[in-house]
A and B are shown apart, each in its own frame.
Chain A
């Protein structure tokens, strides 16, 4: 079955870049049916979708308006993983970050990573 394993630092300084990785097993990041997402969760904002990437003969990416100027999702076919980069972080970006998989046939988050708690603090 599909599994997602997240990794990355739990503490990031203000103004720096948050970088997380989601390693995929049981599927391919370049699958023609999967959609790969990053979300985050905080007491203030609840569950918030950040962005997605998917491959349909070419790569597509969509980002939430709230973070669009600061976020990048990068698929890595050589390592079968996807990464999240969020620049110029502030304490408001403190949250638990999740990667999650959807499929074209069913646009629900059926598979999740374990979550990474990221604190933005000096």
Chain B
């Protein structure tokens, strides 16, 4: 089973600034990596798949990059609605696995 490690566990950023979240896989997942956003009391929402493709309706300030074992989610200019928990998810090897999450909080 592939282990997904996200860092940092908590990231404090001011609105309007850039946030960079990291995800590392224990072995290569090629580009089969997705990111989800979860707000309190809600289900996760798909943001990005295939490492860098935004899901329907996701603003352009969200971008993803990476390949193999190292991946990054960047939010270019944080809006108030972006403060949430973010999860990476690999779907290259069965069973598919999630990272433990990065909480993005207001600085």
Contacts and interface: CB of A to CB of B under 8 A. Distances in A.
B59 to A, nearest CB: 17
Contact of A109 (B89, B95, B99, B101): B89
Q: How large is the interface on B (under 10, 10 to 19, 20 to 34, 35 or more residues)?
A: 20 to 34
Contacts of B96: 49, 107
Interface residues of A, number: 16
A70 B53 CA distance: 37
Interface in B74-107: 87, 89, 91, 95-101
B95 A46 contact: no
B23 interface: no
B49 interface: yes
A100 B64 CA distance: 23
B98 A46 contact: yes
B11 interface: no
B55 interface: yes
Given A46-B100, A46-B101, A110 B46 contact: yes
B60 interface: no
Nearest to B98: A47
Contacts of B32: 107
